[in-house]
Amino acid sequence: MSVPISRRGVLVAGAGVAAGVTVPAATAQARTNSGSSVKFVVNAETLDGGEQVVALTLDTSRLGPIDPNGLDEKTFSVHVKATNPIAGSTGGEYDVDRPVTRAWVDRRGRVVLELLHGEGQIGASTLGYIPDKGRNVRLNLVFTITQNTPLGRRHGKPLIIEKFEQGDLVNPEVDAFSYHGSEATLKYRLFKPGRGKRPLIVWLHGGGEGALLPDNYYDNETTLRANRGALGFATREAQQIFGGAYVVAPQSTSAWLQDGPRFAPLIRQIVKEVADRYDVDRDRIYVAGCSNGGYMSLKMTTVYPDVFAASVPICSVVEGNPPMIPDSELTAIRTPTWLVASLDDDTVDPQANTIHAHDLIPHSKATLYEHVIWNGYQFPGHWSWIYVARNDPSSRGTHIWQWMARQRS
């Protein structure tokens, strides 16, 4: 008969070690073995609405074979506290229990605790939005694991884990992009395909994913964690369509809209660096972006008309006083262009921006949605980049990724 035991372990932020715990009661100790510290990694996935923590993986492999029959969603409880890393700012903080939906043992003998997650799930996000700064930032997450009952083993007595030590945040899709500084003074992330001459896709993020230089925050990660814009092009499906493609995601030091003419040559320098360093097909360089990045993708084709084989501006901005991109520049664009927006976008007026640009850019395509809905969940109307990240827009039976892949400069 097992005896209920509660064990709590937490990584103290900045300390790098687990907090101490009390010794179990003698009666419980007589019926169980006490294990030493167990490390765990935080598993995350970037959903359409942003990155969420979906599981914790406990490195129990060295403790001997775990009996999966005695393991269920009640064996452990999980709590998480998220704090904003920017001093004096608030946005996205939470302090909640994370329900365990499944507990199982993987092939390496590690206990995996799957956590309740999904679009709109409170307390699952790795990012917090700071309204007064207009930026997403990666939250400081501190997990507390409570062991409610001893962990059965195939050989030996049931086990009580003494401590839990928090490790890295692991997101295989994000981690597939390598970090790079640049002579252009912009940081960027790069996905590299297999060998051989490959096309290059440039993804330009929205305003919420720029850096906060006054706060010394330039993480060069949020563009991959806030949405699937860049990640979509690195999926197996997209890579098959493009025949393998490099995907580069620069991060603005502020917002593209604030200083587009200055950023354009910096982005161009990153494209040159990647093309010079790797076997890039210079006839197949594409640019796509959302919101601020939608504006910047259009701007790049006005400044560098011969560089890009195609442009995909999503919920882009062209209006302003004066216009961000004048009508004379729009009518002069010769790069094949496919614009995407949702008609219920209440952040960037689709009529004054996307539809207006489509009317002026020669031979351009446009896909307009009524709402942004994916897998039954309705997102804000501004988030039409979700459709491009899923290769949904189509024209005469050709989807947007296939159309891009066919273009040559």
User: What residues of the chain score a pLDDT lower than 70?
Assistant: 1-35, 183-184
Q: Are residues 99 and 241 in the same domain?
A: no
Q: Report pLDDT for 33.
A: 59
Question: At 126, which CATH number?
Answer: 2.60.40.2180
Last residue of a domain, one of 147, 170, 193: 170
Last residue of a domain, one of 153, 170, 187: 170
Q: Are residues 267 and 327 in the same domain?
A: yes
Task: List the beta strands (DSSP E) in 121-219.
Answer: 127-130, 135-138, 140-147, 159-170, 177-180, 188-191, 198-204
Residue 252 CB partners (closer than 8 Å, separation 6+): 186, 205, 209, 210, 211, 263, 292
What's the first-to-final CA gap in the chain, in angstroms? 72
Residue 1 belongs to a domain: no
Q: Report pLDDT for 1.
A: 34
Give 347-362 pLDDT, tens digit per residue: 999 999 999 999 999 9
Number of structural domains the chain divides into: 2
Map 351-373 to HEC letters. HHHHHHHHHHCCCCEEEEECCEE
Residue 253 Ramachandran class (φ > 0 left, ψ -120 to 50 alpha, else beta): alpha
**Whole domain around residue 224: which residue ranges?**
174-406
Angle CA 381–386–392, to nearest 5: 110
Q: Are residues 160 and 189 in the same domain?
A: no
Q: Would you say the C-alpha torsion 227, 230, 234, 235 has a positive or negative sign?
A: positive
* C-alpha neighbours within 13 Å on the C-beta side of residue 62: 8
Helix, strand, or coil here: 20?
coil
**DSSP letter at 307?**
T
Cβ proximity of 46 and 223 under 8 Å: no
Q: Report pLDDT for 197.
A: 97
Cβ proximity of 382 and 346 under 8 Å: yes
Question: At 299, which CATH number?
Answer: 3.40.50.1820
Residue 306 belongs to a domain: yes
Q: Report pLDDT for 155.
A: 83
Give 313-340 pLDDT, tens digit per residue: 999 999 999 999 999 999 999 999 999 9
CA atoms of 257 and 270, how far apart (whole Å): 19
Residue 335 belongs to a domain: yes
Residue 143 belongs to a domain: yes
Instruction: Name which of 81, 151, 155, 150 is nearest 110 in CA terms.
Output: 151
Q: Report pLDDT for 34.
A: 57
What is the pTM (predicted TM-score) of this model?
0.91
CB atoms within 10 A of CB 346: 10
Instruction: Name which of 307, 370, 295, 372 is nearest 334 in CA terms.
Output: 307
Q: Report pLDDT for 25.
A: 33
Helix (H) or strand (E) holding 300: helix 292-303
Q: Are residues 142 and 202 in the same domain?
A: no
Q: Are residues 152 and 259 in the same domain?
A: no
Q: Are residues 224 and 165 in the same domain?
A: no
Last residue of a domain, one of 120, 139, 170: 170
The one-letter amino acid at 78: V
Q: Report pLDDT for 6.
A: 33
Q: What is the CA radius of gyration of the chain?
A: 24
What is the chain's mean pLDDT, rounded?
Answer: 91
Give 180-191 pLDDT, tens digit per residue: 987 668 999 999
